[in-house]
Amino acid sequence: NAGVTQTPKFQVLKTGQSMTLQCAQDMNHNSMYWYRQDPGMGLRLIYYSASEGTTDKGEVPNGYNVSRLNKREFSLRLESAAPSQTSVYFCASRPGASGNTIYFGEGSWLTVV
């Protein structure tokens, strides 16, 4: 039972490079999320998708774009990476709206030099 799968697990980028973090869930969940975790800041929401075909900004969307490719997949793109985007990125999914538990992937460690 894979749950939420993220790739890549580790990545080093140079400033200005672009890359896409991939996420897929096999739980038939409607909602998907991208969070970043930084020391002392907790988990901050970057973007989310309430359902296939919709995306919305979270707390810290600047510098990122997302695509809800289908119900299973939700990708996060950094168009021009900056050192401030060095972080651990977590994809998550949730069956529906409030009252349901959110399930996380194992994380993607991104370093921008």
Binding site for another protein (CB under 8 A): 4, 31, 33, 35, 40-45, 48, 50, 56, 58, 90, 92, 94, 97-99, 101-107
105: closest CA among 19, 14, 24?
24
CB of 48 to another protein, least distance (A): 6
Cβ(85)–Cβ(63) below 8 Å: yes
Please state, in angstroms and rounded to a whole number, the distance separating the CA atoms of residues 90 and 15.
21
CB of 2 to another protein, least distance (A): 13
CA angle 20, 24, 28 (to 5 degrees): 150
Closer by beta carbon to another protein, 28 or else 99: 99
CB of 79 to another protein, least distance (A): 24
Kindly state the tokens that stand for 3.
């749950």
Closer by beta carbon to another protein, 1 or else 98: 98
Which residues share a beta bridge with 20?
A: 77
CB of 66 to another protein, least distance (A): 14
Closer by beta carbon to another protein, 69 or else 102: 102
